[in-house]
Amino acid sequence: MVGIFSLITGLPGPSGFGSASTAEQVTEGIDASNLTAIITGGASGIGAETARVLALRGAHVIIAARNMDAANEAKNLILESNPAARIDLLKLDLCSLKSVRAFANSFIAMNLPLNILINNAGVMFCPYQLTEDGIEMHFATNHLGHFLLTNLLLDKMKSTAKATGIEGRIVNLSSIAHLHTYEEGIRFDKLNEQDGYSDKKAYGQSKLANILHASELSRRLQEDGANITVNSVHPGLIMTNLMRHSMNLMRILMVFTYLFWKNVPQGASTTCYVALHPSLKGVTGKYLLDCNLMAPSRVARDKIIAKKLWDFSEKLVQLTR
């Protein structure tokens, strides 16, 4: 477990890494040349850094992005420093279930294996709005889109793990913000209501959903005997485009909390660690911060709510076909 002291000082925890570790440092010496990875939101911020480092370690990386111009730019930057990098781009708008299905079909048509799925993309502190599917934006983009995407790609991941004998890994990017959600945790009965809406709590709700999703999926895969792990991570406080709806507030906050903030290479470290590091073999259903195990909130550990969220999400996905 890691504490505030480790967070501020950057001192390594039990894993040998800490808040000051970078994505390159935590993957040093790892050969990922036999792996294929999908990274949602891989066109900018910590997603782009994750794509760069996985490609640096030899993985075939598929960047899933809404903005294809930004994705092309990210790809070209990676190729400038690593001409041998294997990068493909596919369009994905996670707030549209139609787009998620189209992406999954496009990827499966490529006839590639799939070892790693990193559910990285997200929105943060949006004003109240519903998606084209009639779902609250944070929940739709941060959780439901990834829930559907993961389910559509699970058979491919299972068959890859079975054929290769290599453990598949799914990484959900959550946040410590999962602690700051609505009183009931997930507003199952009034998910899309504007009354009582809070952009901060809606974000926290979606990040709580990321952990609950990982927990329940992990349980199901273990029950099936599938060679796939599922974990969720808090990347840390990083100034990226994710904060575009509250940039001024975040800059003020940063003045008072600068000791807690990370740069992008540090922000991508826990994702890359969980995706590639051999010490995480067989570790599943966990929540990690600064490359070390951390206990999430009590609600995030509630298996009954995790199951309820799964059933709720399944119905939402089916209703919007």
Pull the structure tokens for residue 76. 């070209």
DSSP 8-state class, residue 126 = P
CA distance 94 to 29: 33
Helix 145-164 vs helix 97-109: angle between axes, to the nearest 10 degrees? 20
Q: Could you confirm whether 197 is annotated as catalytic? A: yes
Q: Are the C-beta atoms of residues 24 and 60 closer than 8 Å to each other?
A: no
Which helix (H) or strand (E) covers residue 137, if one does?
helix 137-138
Within a 13 Å sphere around the CA of 123, how many CA atoms are in the beta-carbon half?
22
Classify residue 24 as exposed, middle or buried by CB count within 10 Å of its CB (0-12, 13-18, 19+).
middle
DSSP 8-state class, residue 261 = E
Q: Which residues pair with 173 in a beta bridge?
A: 233
Which helix (H) or strand (E) covers residue 170, if one does?
strand 168-173
Strand 228-234, strand 287-289: pairing: parallel
DSSP 8-state class, residue 134 = S
Please report the DSSP string for 2-59 in residue order.
Answer: --HHHHHH----TTS--TT--HHHHTTT---TT-EEEEETTTSHHHHHHHHHHHHTT-
Pull the structure tokens for residue 155. 């058979």
Pull the structure tokens for residue 239. 């100034």
CA distance 117 to 119: 6
CA distance 282 to 264: 28
CA angle 101, 142, 188 (to 5 degrees): 100
Catalytic residue among 128, 182, 197, 287: 197
Catalytic residue set: 197
